[in-house]
Amino acid sequence: MMTLGKTAMAGLVALSLAACASDSGPKETIGTLLGAGLGGLAGSQIGSGSGQLAAVAGGTLLGAFLGKEIGSSLDSADEAAANQTAQQSLETAPTGTTSTWSNPNSGNSGTFTPTKTYQTASDQYCREYQQTVMVNGETQTAYGTACRQPDGSWKVVN
């Protein structure tokens, strides 16, 4: 069992790491804190004396890093689903047709609707769109324009 001093040390390291991750998403922060706690607990089971304190610190740091990476990949999964839906919708969906995406692991979802299609003076195809994203029960709406690139992908221009 960890002593009160070792528990306090692990907690301070976890809070310090969370402060460093203040610009990250909530999943990254939660992953960092959980990883730090579990890593510190695992480290407390190794060694004795001052070696055990070093194992707690090392376990806390390693756990925080791994937890942050897992949390980050979940945010990346949401972004990948939204981007894939946008690219497919811009390429194939008729104007006014709404495409949806959802990530069952995070519960986040969204829609993408091309609202106008036109060709520029330089013969580049562009589409205006409306996009919604629902995260933690809150919906955000965005409007923009994307134009088709020479490689076939669509790039947001405003």
What's this model's pTM, rounded to 2 decimal places? Answer: 0.56
Structure tokens at 32: 């960092």
Burial 12-21 (b: 16+ CB within 10 A, else e): ebbeebbeeb
Q: What share of the chain is helix, strand, coil (3-state, %, to 5)?
A: 50, 25, 25
Span 11-65, pLDDT tens digits: 444 444 444 444 455 555 555 555 555 555 555 556 566 666 666 666 666 656 5
The mean pLDDT value for 58-86 works out to 68
**Higher-confidence residue: 57 or 111?**
111
Count CB atoms within 10 A of the CB of residue 84: 13
The mean pLDDT value for 6-15 works out to 42
